[in-house]
């Protein structure tokens, strides 16, 4: 099969799309059947079909065969913790400059949503080292990362990040724990000079404590922000903002490590 081939291969993650709210993430296994409230689809019948084409369910409903993005995979993944949402994922990457080849340290892994997103960016030469204290979350995160096909780019360590990171000279440290200020010192130790730290905090008191600690530890260019995202209901002559809006996800804080005078 050529690199340019755009057809579903056995084992692919595939999105069967009816509407924005009704879509099914399936794996194209030959012997499986997916049941929906609109009939079933034998997954053997999607193997070999071109992405962008469609398939009929057993009751004649048309489902579009789409290739899931990394965010589709994350939003459909198993989760037992709060996760980082797409609007914040995008900003974290723009502010930190994470790209292919980056070495990133993360605390904590949680359900592995951010880990999955980062691994997809740093591959094939970069790596994400992720610290998580609770083994039950590590199991979930590993399953999610494996499902996204990104296992080779992630190392999860079961440890209290407060005890320090094994990695040194890393490009970026990302902190998504309830007491981020307690990890600023170990993040400074792990980062290379000029390296970026990013903190993800649901509440303002966390942000305040974090920025005080950043200032005291040897970070500059400290910036905190919140992103508000509003969808549009776009249709001819009637376009208006959506009535519903996600009120709050997290505050993001960014800073750069500077070297102390010797
Ligand atoms: C909000 S969740 C992270 C969610 C993750 N960013 C995602 O997108 O799926 C916070 C996680 O940090 C872990 N955690 C809290 N303190 C920690 C520490 N000191 N060291 C390692 N992990 C810690 C918690 O067990 C929890 O799983």
**The predicted structure's pLDDT at residue 100:** 98
Catalogue the E-assigned strands of the chain: 13-17, 23-27, 33-36, 39-42, 54-56, 62-66, 103-107, 127-132, 154-158, 170-175, 191-201, 219-225, 232-233, 240-241, 251-257
Give the global pTM.
0.95
Judged against a pLDDT cut of 80, whether residue 190 lies above it is answered with yes
Distance CA 24, CA 125 (A): 32
CB 224 near ligand 1, within 6 Å: no
Judged against a pLDDT cut of 80, whether residue 168 lies above it is answered with yes
Distance CA 69, CA 111 (A): 18
Domain limits, the chain: 13-68, 72-257
Mean pLDDT of the chain: 96
- The protein residue whose alpha carbon is closest to atom 26 in ligand 1 is 110
CB 131 near ligand 1, within 6 Å: yes
- DSSP letter (8 states) at residue 122: H
Comparing C-alpha atoms, which of 19, 25, 22 is closest to residue 74?
25
User: Which residue among 132, 150, 200, 210 has the greatest number of ligand 1 atoms within 8 angstroms of its CB, and so is best to mutate?
Assistant: 132
CB 161 near ligand 1, within 6 Å: yes
Instruction: Indicate the CATH number for domain 72-257.
Output: 3.40.50.150
Q: Could you say which of 3.40.50.970, 3.10.330.20, 3.10.20.30, 3.40.50.300 is the CATH number of the domain covering 13-68?
A: 3.10.330.20
Angle among Cα 45, 51, 57 to the nearest 5 degrees reads 40
**The predicted structure's pLDDT at residue 260:** 79
CA atoms within 13 A on the CB side of 102: 23
Encoded tokens for 120: 């997809």
Residues 200-218 have pLDDT tens digits of 999 999 999 999 999 999 9
**The predicted structure's pLDDT at residue 3:** 60
**The predicted structure's pLDDT at residue 31:** 87
User: Which residue among 81, 140, 157 has the greatest number of ligand 1 atoms within 8 angstroms of its CB, and so is best to mutate?
Assistant: 81
- The protein residue whose alpha carbon is closest to atom 16 in ligand 1 is 177
CB 132 near ligand 1, within 6 Å: yes
Residues 36-91 have pLDDT tens digits of 889 999 999 999 999 999 999 999 999 999 999 999 999 999 999 999 999 999 99
Angle among Cα 173, 178, 180 to the nearest 5 degrees reads 35
């Amino acid at each position: 099969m050529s690199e340019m081939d755009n057809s579903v291969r056995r084992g692919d993650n595939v999105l069967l799309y009816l509407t924005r709210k009704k879509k099914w993430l399936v794996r194209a296994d030959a012997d499986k059947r997916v049941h929906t409230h609109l009939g079933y689809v034998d997954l053997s019948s999607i193997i070999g079909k071109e992405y962008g084409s469609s398939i009929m369910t057993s009751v004649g409903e048309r489902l579009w065969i789409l290739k899931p993005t990394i965010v589709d995979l994350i939003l459909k993944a198993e989760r037992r913790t709060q996760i980082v949402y797409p609007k914040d994922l995008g900003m974290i990457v723009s502010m930190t400059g994470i790209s292919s080849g980056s070495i990133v340290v993360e605390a904590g892994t949680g359900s592995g949503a951010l880990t999955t997103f980062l691994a997809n960016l740093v591959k094939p030469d970069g790596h994400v080292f992720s610290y998580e204290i609770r083994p039950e979350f590590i199991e979930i995160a590993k399953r999610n990362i494996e499902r996204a096909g990104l296992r080779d780019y992630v190392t999860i360590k079961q440890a209290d990040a407060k005890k320090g990171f094994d990695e040194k000279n890393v490009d970026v440290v990302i902190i998504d724990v309830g007491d981020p200020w307690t990890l600023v010192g170990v993040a400074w130790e792990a980062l290379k000079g000029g390296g970026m730290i990013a903190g993800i905090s649901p509440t303002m008191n966390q942000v305040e404590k974090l920025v005080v600690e950043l200032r005291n530890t040897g970070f500059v260019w400290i910036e905190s922000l919140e992103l508000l995202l509003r969808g549009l209901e776009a249709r001819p002559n009637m376009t208006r903002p959506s009535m519903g809006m996600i009120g709050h996800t997290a505050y993001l804080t960014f800073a750069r490590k500077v070297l102390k005078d010797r």
